Amino acid sequence: MARKFLYFVAAMIVLAIAALLAYRLFGTDMIRMAMVPRATFEAQSEAPRNIYARKIMWLARPDKPGNPALWTPPGYTPGQRGTGAAIFFIHPTSYINRDHWNAPIDDPETNARAELFLRGQASAFNEAGDIWAPRYRQATFGAFLTSAAESERALALAYGDVSAAFDRFLKEVGPTRPIILAGHSQGGAHLTRLLRDRIATDPKLRARIVAAYVVGWPVSRTTDLPRMGLPECRAADQTGCILSWESFAEPADPSLIVDAYDATIGFDGRPRKGTPIVCTNPLTGTADAAAPATANLGTLVPAADLATATMAVGSVPARCADRGFLLIGDGPNLGPYVLPGNNYHVYDYSLFWANVGADANRRLKAFAQ
């Protein structure tokens, strides 16, 4: 288990360093030069609707040997694991190559890195039920640094895979089982579209959603949320609702995100500029809330030598502030891989790992009742 955590931290480092060092040395323009693909977009066919019937197309599923989503920190004793909910998790960007706009589906390094992310993120849900996490032809890291048309096409291709995987997920888990949806970063972006396209348009499916965790991706309360089929979570035991947060230590400078966010169009066709961002405090499970560090049930903290990790209880506070960003005070020392502006994006789940699990279990219990 210790070795697995080392690999997880190493994976986060790869992504964080790519952004952090380039930014500090060269600025935003040089990041784009270094990370945005120079090649033209390669048109590819849609994923066959039955391709996700193949077990190899899943990074995590209940019958996968060595399922990475079942990882837990050393010394942590998980509660009773039952069938519970069916959890559909969309992993963040693990492809940082600029040779292609989309990751090859069989790229071993990219898929291995994605599995490592599941250990530190999707694992938070592993007491709530069975976790399913698909491989998909994700957009490369550089696609998020440009407004070029190729970027939109790359994201659309990736979303097509996610949608096909979701179809198979629904078939595998049956027509009545409760569902938890979750993702991070690029995975969160695809989840917003899945909510808009699939959940908002299907009342029977919508009635099965315990909660949707759209983490590390901004959701506009004004232009996005009304089209996503679910309200934001206002109560800790509310079901059929959306949770979302983006973590910053103080003093926070979210200008890079704000500038990009303000330049986009929301799901209702209106500009997102100036609109408030959904902020759920994962320590309370409620919107626009503040909570002291004593409310934190456990943060994943790597050792200095990265050989293991400990669960730090009661060490990180959180409060929703400003445009809707989640502020965590001075910020814990999780290593030198915090992004510009005191952005703890890489650690959005790790900061509140135990609370995320408790939140999912609490909502699932309320849903069952």
187-205: per-residue pLDDT in tens?
999 999 999 999 999 999 9
Least confident of 155-159, 283-287, 295-299: 155-159
Give residue 45's pLDDT band: very low, low, confident or very high (50, 70, 90).
confident
Rounded to an integer, what distance in angstroms lies between the CA atom of residue 127 and that of residue 82?
7
**Farthest CA pair distance, the chain:** 55
**Mean pLDDT on 139-166:** 81
Which position has the higher pLDDT, 75 or 182? 182
What residues does each domain of the chain span?
2-368
What is the pLDDT, as a whole number, of residue 361? Answer: 96
199-252: per-residue pLDDT in tens?
999 999 999 999 999 999 999 999 999 999 999 999 999 999 999 999 999 999
Q: Is the pLDDT of residue 13 over 80?
A: no
Give residue 132's pLDDT band: very low, low, confident or very high (50, 70, 90).
very high
**Mean pLDDT on 21-42:** 53
Q: How many CA atoms lie within 13 A of 313 on its CB side?
A: 4
319-346: per-residue pLDDT in tens?
999 899 999 999 998 877 788 899 999 8
Which position has the higher pLDDT, 359 or 104? 359
Is 93:186 a contact under the CB 8 Å cutoff? yes
Q: Is the pLDDT of residue 93 over 50?
A: yes
84-98, 234-248, 303-317: which is most confident: 234-248
Phi first, then psi, for residue 33 (nearest 5°) are -65, -35
Rounded to an integer, what distance in angstroms lies between the CA atom of residue 356 and that of residue 318?
13
Is 240:209 a contact under the CB 8 Å cutoff? yes
For the full predicted model, state whether its pTM sits above 0.85: yes
